[in-house]
Amino acid sequence: MLIPHPLLGLRDAQEFTYLGDARLIDRPNGMAENAAEAFHDYVYLRDNPAGVHRELWFHEQGDRSWLIVTRDTTTHEILGAELARDVALTRRGALSEGGAQA
């Protein structure tokens, strides 16, 4: 299986380690009112889709970056890969812009 690394091109999946659902980057705020409930859901509850799934892969024997890989769990087809850092920073930027408007 080859993973299309956004910076390095196609790389063998053997160089990567798999973590799991990409929603793990949405860590809840530990200081919020409902933190215990939010962390229960964050730690234990996962969707298990048969089909397109976004998941975190770590390029351990490579540039050590975290990727969000979109994969079809029924065919193992890799539909795309992006740097998790870019996804997180884009989301944070969108949140802070939204906060500024409010």
**Which residues form the interface with another protein (CB under 8 A)?**
7-12, 14-15, 60-65, 83, 85
Q: Give the shortest CB-43-to-another protein separation in angstroms.
A: 29
Q: Give the shortest CB-61-to-another protein separation in angstroms.
A: 4
Q: Give the shortest CB-51-to-another protein separation in angstroms.
A: 29
46 or 85: CB nearest another protein: 85
19 or 38: CB nearest another protein: 19
Do 64 and 45 contact (CB within 8 A), yes or no? Answer: no
38 or 78: CB nearest another protein: 78
Q: In what order do the strands lie in the sheet with 78-83?
A: 17-21, 52-58, 66-72, 78-83
**Residue closest to 68 by CA, chosen among 89, 83, 48:** 83
Rounded Cα distance between 57 and 43, Å, is 18
